[in-house]
A = this chain, B = another copy of it.
Amino acid sequence: MLDLTQDVRELTAAIVDIESVSGNERALADEVERALSALPHLKVDRSGETVVARTELGRAERVLIAGHLDTVPVAANLPSRVEGDLLYGCGTSDMKAGVAVALKLAATVPAPNKDVTYVFYDCEEVEAERNALTRIARDHADWLAADFAVLMEPTDGVIEGGCQGTLRAEVTVAGKRAHSARSWFGVNAIHGIEPVLARLNAYEARRPVVDGLEYHEGLNAVGVRGGVAGNVIPDLCVVSVNYRFAPDLSIEAAQAHVREVFEGFEVGFVDAAPGARPGLTHPVAAAFAGAVGGTPRAKLGWTDVARFSALGVPAVNYGPGDPNLAHQQGEYVSLSKIVESERAMLDWLTI
């Protein structure tokens, strides 16, 4: 059984050494469930390979601390190994160091100053439909109820607040087909996307400040397709556009903006995911920021933070790993950063 009394650095290594590539989290989930179930101050639930443990002290506030158990595929980087201050291995940074910190807190803080829900979930590194949070939010939304959530994703020990939204649109240009030997009888739809690209090239991305954090938007073509045959003037060309928008915009407002940018063109929307405001104005979040220190920064990519935001729970990313090392063969985590994280979180839950 996973020994939660050992040092957080050793615990991280122990967890890393239980391989848990997405879809194969059972062994690690079993260990986590057994270890937490042995703690009398926690109520433990399980759904699939997701383990949820909670204190029930009747505190005025409840915070949620979450980490995913899965990793990207192993790349000849297991078992873990230590070199100086660095622990190398698959999942060290993303995000078993964060999971270890959360497990230590669960074990060592029987009476936190706010109620805590610990969530250890599966399938974060794969498509959204398989992400366990999708299922938990649907089947056990009450498990996720909280005033504030911390996802212990790698952020280099800095709070990354909220996340940007994303949507994909298709800008379609129609033409008229003709034989390319007599091209003047046709209208070339590929030539017709020139102004679409001109607007993208001229586009100036917003960098709005939301709840004190600066975001950085982006509007980009991510695909283009057109063409019928080598001797035909094409009658259709479609530019796929991805808009990453700051969390001061709703999906609807973001769509309206895209329509405005491509005014005069046919615009259709393929999919969208909302952003999440950083929520750092909430007192419990402010207390967290105070305990952790440093200057919070905006999260630009879309993360599970947005799922909590959609459930009405302000959430941030915060973890000891280095986000730039995630998914890399040479992934590692700084052992001293793990200890720092554990201390900061401990202060937050106890002082």
Q: Which of A's residues lie within 8 Å of B, judged by CB?
A: 164, 166, 168, 179-184, 188, 190-191, 193-194, 197-198, 200-201, 205, 216, 218, 220-234, 237, 239-240, 242, 244, 270-271, 300-302
Q: Can you show 27 pairs from A to B with CB atoms below 8 A apart?
A: A164-B181, A179-B301, A180-B218, A180-B222, A181-B244, A181-B300, A182-B216, A182-B218, A182-B300, A184-B205, A188-B220, A190-B197, A190-B224, A191-B197, A193-B197, A194-B194, A221-B226, A221-B234, A222-B227, A222-B228, A222-B230, A222-B231, A222-B234, A223-B226, A223-B234, A224-B237, A230-B270
Give me 12 other A-B pairs in contact (C-beta within 8 A), A191-B201, A220-B233, A224-B224 excluded: A164-B181, A166-B180, A180-B220, A191-B221, A193-B224, A194-B194, A197-B197, A221-B227, A222-B229, A223-B230, A230-B240, A230-B242
Option from B184, B232, B300 in Cβ contact (under 8 Å) with A222:
B232
Chain B residues whose CB sits within 8 angstroms of the CB of A231 once the complex forms: 166, 222, 242
A184 touches B218 (CB 8 A): yes
Give the residue among A166, A197, A198, A232 with the most B Cβ atoms within 10 A: A197
- Which of B188, B234, B239, B302 interacts with A181 by CB under 8 Å? B302
**Separation of A81 and B91 alpha carbons in the complex (Å):** 78
List 9 tightest A-B contacts by C-beta distance, closest first.
A223-B227, A183-B218, A190-B221, A181-B301, A194-B197, A180-B242, A224-B226, A181-B300, A183-B220
Given A221-B188, A224-B226, A244 contacting B180 (CB threshold 8 A): yes
Chain B residues near A225: list those with CB within 8 A. 224-225, 227
State whether A301 touches B190 (Cβ < 8 A).
no
* Chain B residues within 8 Å of A166, by CB: 180-181, 231
Asked if A244 meets B183 with Cβ closer than 8 Å, knowing A194-B198, A227-B223, the reply is yes
Distance to closest chain B CB from A158 (angstroms): 16
Whether A233 and B237, one on each chain, are in contact in the complex, defined by CB atoms closer than 8 angstroms, is no
Q: How far is the CA of A224 from the CA of B192 in the complex (A)?
A: 12
CA distance in complex: A191, B222 (Å)? 9
Complex Cα gap A200–B223 (Å): 20
- A188 and B202 alpha carbons, distance in the complex (Å): 13
- Chain B residues, Cβ within 8 Å of A242: 180, 230-231
User: In the complex the two chains form, what is the Cα distance from A220 to B190 in whole Å?
Assistant: 9
Residues of B contacting A240 with CB < 8 Å?
227, 230
Residues of B within 8 A of A168 (CB): 230
Contact between chains at B184 and A216 (CB < 8 Å): yes
Q: Which of B180, B183, B216, B223 contacts A190 (CB 8 A)?
A: B223
Chain B residues with Cβ under 8 A from A190's Cβ?
Answer: 197, 221-224, 239
Q: How far is the CA of A216 from the CA of B302 in the complex (A)?
A: 52
Query: With a CB–CB cut-off of 8 A, which chain B residues contact A228?
Result: 222
Instruction: Compute how far the CA of A229 lies from the CA of B271 in the bound complex, rounded to whole angstroms.
Output: 13
Task: Return chain B residues, CB-CB under 8 Å to A200.
Answer: 188, 191
Bound-complex Cα distance A178 to B234 (A): 30
In the assembled complex, which residues on chain B have CB atoms less than 8 Å from the CB atom of A270?
A: 230
Query: How many angstroms from the CA of A228 to the CA of B222 in the assembled complex?
Result: 7
Cα separation A121 to B262 with both chains bound (whole Å): 53
Chain B: minimal CB distance from A278 (Å): 16
Taken together as a complex, chains A and B put the C-alpha atoms of A57 and B182 apart, in Å, by 42
